[in-house]
A = this chain, B = another copy of it.
């Protein structure tokens, strides 16, 4: 299944948005300390309750950040795509991880010790501002999400998840299939509902000719309609 293991990455290209910010000497430090780890499908990258140590950057693959809820129910908090950074919030807050991260498919993740990052950050304001900006954006998303997940009905929440997946991971070559395959359960955990309701609502969308299904593949037939349901219904 996982043939892309041990692929070689050029950090200066992969981590380009941080790279642009660093001086030559800082780049040297970064290159020296960065380590790439490879994860298989469903492998945990870090666990809820662990002490955070590294800044992580997803180079290849797909990662979900999730959280145990009350009745053992799981909630997907956000999804990571290349090239996004994660794992730094808890360290900055001085907390243990509140969430867990796991690979959705074979993934390559670049690790840089947070100690190194913080040291650089104290001498490089642009890097500090990079994190301020990203944390601010993520906090806004979290606020929006809270309202969506609590106030929208099932159809709206599922449609919103599909739109999110579409916008985040794009389409395959056929120009219709969402370029990520989730289990119905994961889709439910992303949309705050039970798996049976995710399944039921997906079939409704099929009947209404908004999507078609082929196993885990989801084809978007009527994107406009889907976005409308996401907004209003």
Which B residue sits closest to A98, measured CB to CB? B140
Residues in B whose Cβ lies below 8 Å from that of A138: 139
- Tell yes or no: A77 within 8 A of B by CB: yes
Residues in B whose Cβ lies below 8 Å from that of A123: 125
Q: Kindly specify which of A39-47, A129-137, A169-177 makes contact with the partner chain.
A: A129-137
Pick from B69, B73, B92, B156: contact of A132, CB under 8 Å = B92
Pick from B69, B89, B93, B151: contact of A73, CB under 8 Å = B151
Assess whether B137 is in contact with A93, with CB atoms less than 8 Å apart: yes
- Over the window 112-144 of chain A, the binary record of Cβ atoms lying under 8 Å from chain B Cβ atoms (1 yes, 0 no) is 000000000111010011011101111110111
Assess whether B144 is in contact with A142, with CB atoms less than 8 Å apart: no
Residues in B whose Cβ lies below 8 Å from that of A144: 67, 98
- Tell yes or no: A145 within 8 A of B by CB: yes
Assess whether B122 is in contact with A129, with CB atoms less than 8 Å apart: yes
- Tell yes or no: A25 within 8 A of B by CB: no
Pick from B92, B122, B139, B146: contact of A133, CB under 8 Å = B92
Given A129-B122, A132-B92, A135-B136, also A143-B70 (CB < 8 A): no
Assess whether A71 is in contact with B151, with CB atoms less than 8 Å apart: yes
- Tell yes or no: A95 within 8 A of B by CB: yes
- Tell yes or no: A206 within 8 A of B by CB: no
Assess whether A151 is in contact with B70, with CB atoms less than 8 Å apart: yes
Complex alpha-carbon distance, A139 and B146, angstroms: 12
- Tell yes or no: A1 within 8 A of B by CB: no
Complex alpha-carbon distance, A140 and B147, angstroms: 16
Which of A125, A128, A129: most chain B Cβ within 10 A?
A128
Assess whether A69 is in contact with B151, with CB atoms less than 8 Å apart: yes
Please give 15 more A-B residue pairs, beta carbons under 8 A apart, in addition to A88-B136, A98-B143.
A69-B147, A71-B151, A75-B150, A75-B151, A89-B139, A90-B136, A93-B137, A95-B137, A99-B143, A121-B128, A123-B125, A132-B135, A139-B139, A146-B149, A151-B192
The 10 closest A-B pairs by CB, nearest first: A128-B128, A92-B136, A135-B135, A142-B142, A93-B136, A69-B151, A93-B137, A150-B192, A89-B136, A70-B151
